[in-house]
Structure 1
């Protein structure tokens, strides 16, 4: 299930500090398996129930970068949206995401350099209101000027 805001682009001229965009997605077993295939990260903590039971997580967890990818989706599809270029991202993983968890991925504009078209955003993912990932992204936003 994916529940998100309308897709598109907010050009640098229309971005303001405090803007927030988000999406919600249930992380499924299929998502975890596809992520493992695409990235070749087959760590059994993500894929093997028996193995994962004996870890500190006491069960399977999603890849951290799968969760972080939801932040990328918000940035690339909503704020700023299409045409955005990622320049950097910090991540702190605070808690595991498990198959079946509903993740809320949010980005919030914290600073704007209009002359350089750079936008800094606080990024976070939550499960049941608890932060599971935090960080900061810097992006190059598209412009509406065609001069």
Structure 2
């Protein structure tokens, strides 16, 4: 499911996630190396036209990882750790490289990235928001396609 589908299913969680990612420019992307071990790198993300986009420099290791194995995890930048307004947000899914010149041109018009670049749209498999409620409970909101939003509270 793309970002628009998720936002239609869970608009409040989608707004919170977008706000967390908008709070900082750089976030952490996890991909899988050839040997299956994780690779974490910095990344800028964009929410445009109902999609969550991942743009990367040509030939970057993270782009090569995603070409080989599309699975990813994306963690919102926590900042200095003192003002996690909206909580912590993690998105997992599959990244699909976009080669279509018209789609890439539309992205360039909005974002003006340095060219050339790799562009991936995302298919979401999970969105998780973690936050503290009333200074007493850790709360996890967990969304997966086709399932109702699940909320877990831990004391």
Name the TM-score, length of structure 2 as normaliser. 0.27
Looking at secondary structure, tell me which structure has more strand per residue.
2
Structure possessing the higher radius of gyration over alpha carbons: 1
